[in-house]
Structures are given as structure tokens and as C-alpha cells.
């Protein structure tokens, strides 16, 4: 469970406040001991009380507005390269 620091508002520059969490996402991850693994990801939302802008915290696990983790994309690319080099 990671706690996020409240960022400055990208619209007006005021300090945003912690608001709530997004609906949890079940993110597929690499298999662990042969079993499929999923991460339950709850991203913190922030609200600017000056201009009412809402913002969601970002994580290094997945790109913004994506559901597939970066490591899975890297694994797919690696498999494609291996397959291409075998032909």
C-alpha cells in the first residue's frame, strides 16, 4: 500500500488534497511459480479545491490510462524478437 504525496494542481498551481481512491483495477502480472498473478491496484485521486480539477496518481507499473503493465509489454516484445530471430 503506497501513500502518494499530493501534487500541485496542473491548472492553477494550488496544492491539491487527497480525495479518495479510484475503483480497484485487477492488473495481470507475470506468473509466479506457474500461477497467474494479478495486482489489485487502487490509485489515489486528488482534488484541487481552488479550481475543482481532479487528478489520478500515476504509478510506474502501468502507463497512464492503460491496464497492461509495462513488464508484460516488455515480455511480449521480447518473445516477438525471439520468434523473429528464429525464422
Report if pTM > 0.75.
no
5 occurs within a structural domain: no
SS3 content of the chain, % helix, strand, coil (to 5): 20, 35, 45
pLDDT tens digit string along 11-50? 999 999 998 888 788 888 887 778 888 888 888 889 999 9
1 occurs within a structural domain: no
C-alpha cell belonging to residue 52: 475543482
Q: What percent of the chain has pLDDT over 90?
A: 22
Domain that holds residue 69: 17-86
- Domain tally, the chain: 1
Closest of 5, 26, 28, 8 to residue 16, by C-alpha:
8
Is the confidence at residue 5, as pLDDT, over 60?
A: yes
3 occurs within a structural domain: no
Position 51 scores a pLDDT of 96
6 occurs within a structural domain: no
Amino acid at each position: 500500500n503506497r501513500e502518494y504525496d499530493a501534487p500541485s494542481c496542473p491548472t492553477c498551481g494550488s496544492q491539491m488534497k487527497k480525495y479518495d481512491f479510484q475503483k480497484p483495477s485487477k492488473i495481470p502480472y507475470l506468473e509466479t511459480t506457474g500461477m497467474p498473478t494479478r495486482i489489485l491496484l487502487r490509485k489515489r485521486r486528488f482534488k484541487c479545491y481552488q479550481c475543482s480539477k481532479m487528478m489520478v496518481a500515476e504509478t510506474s507499473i502501468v502507463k497512464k490510462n492503460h491496464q497492461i503493465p509495462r513488464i508484460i509489454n516488455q515480455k511480449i516484445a521480447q518473445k516477438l524478437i525471439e520468434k523473429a530471430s528464429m525464422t
